[in-house]
Amino acid sequence: MAAERPFLRDRLKEMKNSLSTSLGALDVVLLGGMGELNQEQRRFLEVAKQNLEKVFIEVEKIKKSLETKPGRARAGSSGLPDQAASGGPTKL
């Protein structure tokens, strides 16, 4: 497994970069940067953002588990608000 760690860390970094870019784009749209949104459009994008935040948290958990020494658990924060960490995917 030790040989796989650099590969996994690189993949996780790429996933985090893609998630961060997507979350940033959603923020721009939700803040009106691409024009006004109706209520249905806003709700749809808010659900997408919440689900991407949950995926980001899971990626962070995996990354932290790779950074821990085998046999030792490590607690830590995901870097996102706690409400994003609760439960499974948000549904429309």
Tens digit of pLDDT for each residue in 13-60?
999 999 999 999 999 999 999 999 999 999 999 999 999 999 999 999
User: Taken in order 50, 53, 58, 64, is the CA torsion positive or negative?
Assistant: negative
Q: DSSP letters of 33-80?
A: BTB---HHHHHHHHHHHHHHHHHHHHHHHHHHHHHSPTT-------SS
For 19, the domain range is 9-66+77-84
* pTM as predicted: 0.70
44 assigned to some structural domain:
yes
Confidence (pLDDT) at 69: 63
Tens digit of pLDDT for each residue in 41-53?
999 999 999 999 9
Q: Which is higher by pLDDT, 72 or 12? A: 12
18 assigned to some structural domain:
yes
Q: Which is higher by pLDDT, 87 or 85? A: 87
Count of domains in the chain? 1
72 assigned to some structural domain:
no
2 assigned to some structural domain:
no
